[in-house]
Amino acid sequence: MTAQIETTEHEVAQLIVDALHLEMTADEIAPDAPLFGEGLGLDSIDALELALALSRTYGVDLKSDDARNPRIFASLRTLTGHIEAHRTR
């Protein structure tokens, strides 16, 4: 079943905006712009809130000791790809 449900960048962008209470619209998040630091400017508290939201919405659990984290969190596009590959709901 996994990897067969389509996950759009727009719906993940909407989740980011909602979960982090950002004052912007989902369309304003560029797919390839960095989410952390420069770019969208998220920090690690945002990362935690995002991780909790991803777990609730998609059943995707992010681990703190996962070496892939920098890549998963790199951009909206990479995050969407990770969700698509690992979602359980």
Partner 1 sequence: MRGMTESSWSRKRERGSGALIRFMSWLSLRLGWPVGFLLLFPISAYFFCFSGGARGASRRYLDRALGRPATAADVFRHIFTFACVLLDRIFLLAGRLDRFRIEVTGLDHLLAATSGGGGCVLFGAHFGSFEALRAFGRNAPVRVNALMFRANAGAYSQIMDRLDPRLREDIIEIGTPDSMLRVRDCIERGEIVGILADRTACDRKAAAVPFLGEQAPFPTGPFTLAGALGVPVVLFFGIRKGNRHYEVRFEPFAEHVVLPAGDRAAALRDLAGRYAGRLEAQCRQNPYNWFNFYDFWARHPAKAIPAGGARARDLDGAARPGSSPVLAP
Q: Does 81 bind partner 1 (CB under 8 A)?
A: no
Residue 1 beta carbon to partner 1: minimum distance, rounded to whole angstroms: 26
Fill in the DSSP letter of residue 66. Answer: -
Distance (Å, rounded) from C-alpha 50 to C-alpha 69? 13
The span of 3-11, 25-33, 47-55, 80-88 binding partner 1 (CB under 8 A) equals 47-55
CB nearer to partner 1: give 48 or 85. 48
Backbone angles phi, psi at 65, to 5 degrees: -100, 20
Kindly state the greatest CA–CA separation across the chain: 36
Q: Does 41 bind partner 1 (CB under 8 A)?
A: yes
